[in-house]
Structure formats: C-alpha cells, structure tokens
Amino acid sequence: MKKSLLLAILPVLALGVFAASEKKLSERDLVLANMPKIEAPKKKHQILCFSKPYGFRHGSIEIGETMLKVMGEKTGLFEVTVSEDLANFEPGNIKKFDAICFNNNTHIQKGFKDEALRESLISYVKNGGGVFAIHSATDGGWPEYVDMIGGNFNGHPWGAGGTWDIANEDPKHPIVKGVHEGKGFKLKDELYQYKDFDRSKQRVLMALDMKSEVNGKKKGNRKDNDYALAWVKEYGKGRVFVSAFGHNKEVFYNPEILKMWVEGFRYILGETEVETASISKPDSKK
C-alpha cells in the first residue's frame, strides 16, 4: 500500500474505533435505555433492596441494585435503600418502607436466625407491606417465608447457558399483557423448579412452555409438570410478586422483562389493582 493512501485512511480507521468504543454502553446505560416509561405514580414510595446472600452469591446482584436505582429514578415510583443490614427488618425500621425487594438472597433462612426478625418481616407483609422476590430469593426460607413467597427452590434443570421457551399464561393480565404483546417468547436464563408450590394459592403469570421441544429435553421433577416462573399473590393484607428470572445479568436490562418488573412493582406498591385469584394451568383448561 502506498504511503499516501495509508496516511489518508488512518484517520478514518481511528474514527471507526472511536465510534465503536462510544457505542459500548455501561450496564447502567443499558438498563436506562430499556426501562419503560409509566404514568406518573400516586406518590414516591420507599423500598428496601436487601441484597445479602447466605449461600451462592449470584454475579447479577450488583446489576440488580443498579436496575432498582434506575427504575426508581426513571419512573418516579420509589426511592431505594440498598443494604445488607438485617437491622432494617427490626419492627421500628421496617415500617419505614412500603416494600422490600429480595435481590437473589440464597438461603435467606441462614441470615434470619433471630425469631423476632422473622416475625417482624412476616407481620410487616401481613399488615400491608409489599414483597418483590428475584430469582434465588425463592431458594430457602423458613415455613412462613416459603408460604409468603409461594414456592421453594428445588433445582434448575433449565440452566443459565440455555435459551428456553416461556409461556405467557395470563396474556390479558395487566402485569404481563405488554410483554412480547402477550405472547410466548424465548429467554436465556437459569430457570427454577419449585417444591412447596401450590398453584391454588397464587396467580401464575408465566411458566415454562412444556409443549416446547427444547424445554422437554430437560426433565423436571414435578408430577404435575407445572413449572411456574412468575406469579402474584396476596399475603394477609400484603402483596407479593415473584420472578424466577434473574440469574443472568442480561435479564436485568431485557426490555420485555423490565416491562413486567415495573408493573410488578406498581402492584406491590398499591399503585395498581390486579387479579390475584388463582387460574388453572392452560393445558388443563377444557
């Protein structure tokens, strides 16, 4: 190549490299870019993001915290206190919050060893508090906690490296009707199966599509073949939203998942009223 031609194209090449580097967004930028807009909330709520795991620590915990901060800022729904301090659950402190987000707290029962703290949390929810449980917040717990959440981790045949077919089981429900236009979709994430799960006690919104050939290659252990992944329920006067999604970092800036999560928060904060009565599994409908 002639020297004159090389000198001419070097600035162009440099500009291309610079442009490419500028396009590389931070995780916060990705969350911000994909966070949906909502109508103005009735008030700005206070939530606690509790991020301490007592078993396996997920690499998505930090982006979970980032997602909540961005959601609060962009939607105006809430201000978030991010903490790993169990003192937040003492009766005099927990009442400061309108809802608690349990952010991948594996084996939470190992942290809540104090019976008084357990009672404080359960009482808080039964008396009107909200709970948003992400992924391994369903892994462990004491009996009342598991009853409140609605299920307990019992393995994940559908691993984080796979892409799985998800069924929208309640496509007209306000929390999920906007997700992929109410249709089923594919998602790369680690998906749980649950024990101590009773469909009659919650309204299932999304589940593994067990008619899918790719899902069927991995056999779960439930005789009823019911693998719920997102649901809402009432617990006393409280409101609970559960998302099995949330192992992989990319889930936290997936625009379709963020649509569901924003609506999940609106529900647990009392901004919206939604149906929580159980519905049968679609396959079993006549």
Looking at residue 220, what is its pLDDT?
81
Give the side-chain half-sphere CA count within 13 A for 49. Answer: 22
Rounded-to-integer distance, Cα 262 and Cα 219, Å: 32
Q: What are the φ/ψ torsions at residue 195 (nearest 5 degrees)?
A: -105, 170
- Helix/strand/coil (H/E/C) assignment for every residue in the chain: CCHHHHHHHHHHHHHHHHHHHHHCCCHHHHHHHHCCCCCCCCCCEEEEEECCCCCCCCCCHHHHHHHHHHHHHHHCCEEEEEECCHHHHCHHHHCCCCEEEEECCCCHHHCCCCHHHHHHHHHHHHCCCEEEEEHHHHCCCCHHHHHHHCCEECCCCECCCCEEEEEECCCCCCCCCCHHHHCCEEEECCECCEECCCHHHCEEEEEECCCCHHHHCCCCCCCCCCCEEEEEEEECCEEEEEECCCCCHHHHHCHHHHHHHHHHHHHHCCCCCCCCCCCCCHHHCC
Looking at residue 18, what is its pLDDT?
30
Per-residue pLDDT of the chain (286 residues; tens, 9 = 90+): 444 444 444 444 443 433 333 468 899 999 999 999 999 999 999 999 999 999 878 788 899 999 999 999 999 999 999 999 999 999 999 999 999 999 989 899 999 999 999 999 999 999 999 999 998 899 999 999 999 999 998 768 877 688 989 999 999 999 999 999 999 999 999 998 889 999 999 999 999 998 877 666 667 878 888 899 999 999 999 999 999 999 999 999 999 999 999 999 999 999 999 999 999 998 644 3
Q: What are the φ/ψ torsions at residue 191 (nearest 5 degrees)?
A: -115, 135
Place of tokens 């169990």: 86
Would you state the structure tokens that stand for residue 119, as one six-digit string?
Answer: 């009672």
Looking at residue 23, what is its pLDDT?
60
Structural contact between residues 66 and 28, judged by C-beta atoms closer than 8 angstroms? yes
Rounded-to-integer distance, Cα 139 and Cα 271, Å: 28
Domain annotation for the chain: domains and CATH numbers: 28-284 (3.40.50.880)
Rg (CA), the chain: 21
Looking at residue 15, what is its pLDDT?
39
Would you state the structure tokens that stand for residue 65, as one six-digit string?
Answer: 């915290």
Looking at residue 216, what is its pLDDT?
67
The pTM of the full predicted model, rounded to 2 decimals, is 0.88
Would you state the structure tokens that stand for residue 136, as one six-digit string?
Answer: 């391994």
Nearest partner of 28 among 83, 71, 59, judged by Cα: 71
Bridge partners (DSSP) listed for residue 79: 46
Would you state the structure tokens that stand for residue 95, as one six-digit string?
Answer: 């009442």
Task: Spell out the residues 6+ positions from residue 97 whose beta carbon is closer than 8 angstroms to its own.
Answer: 46, 47, 48, 81, 88, 129
Looking at residue 19, what is its pLDDT?
35
How many C-beta atoms surround the C-beta of residue 228 within 10 A?
A: 24
Rounded-to-integer distance, Cα 136 and Cα 217, Å: 24
Looking at residue 223, what is its pLDDT?
87
Rounded-to-integer distance, Cα 151 and Cα 48, Å: 22
